[in-house]
Amino acid sequence: MARPRFIVLRAAGTNCENETAWALESGGAAAEILHLGRLLAEPAALTRAQGLVIPGGFSYGDDIAAGRILANRLRTGLGEELTGLVARGGLVLGICNGFQVLVKAGLLPGRYQPRLVQEVSLTWNDCNQYVCRWTRLACQESRCLFLPPAGTLLELPVAHAEGKLILDRPGAEKELDREGLVALRYVAPDGTLPAPRPWNPNGSTADIAGLTDPTGRVLGLMPHPERAMLPWHHPAGRGGCGMEIFRRMAALLA
Cα maximum dimension of the chain: 49
Give me the sign of the Cα torsion angle 54, 55, 60, 61.
positive
Q: Which residues contact 131 (CB under 8 A, 6 or more apart)?
A: 125, 158, 159, 160, 161, 163, 198, 201, 202
Closest of 35, 41, 42 to residue 17, by C-alpha: 35
Beta strands in 2-152 (DSSP E): 5-10, 30-35, 51-54, 91-95, 121-123, 131-139
To which H or E segment does residue 220 belong?
A: strand 218-221
Write out the H or E segment, with its range, that includes residue 79: helix 68-87
Residue 157 phi/psi, 5-degree rounding, is -85, 150
Tell me the residue ranges of DSSP E strands in 46-163: 51-54, 91-95, 121-123, 131-139, 153-160
CA distances from 182 to 57, 166, 185 (A): 23, 13, 8
Contact 8, 29 (CB under 8 A): no
CA pseudo-torsion sign 89, 27, 160, 139: positive
Active site residues: 96, 224, 226
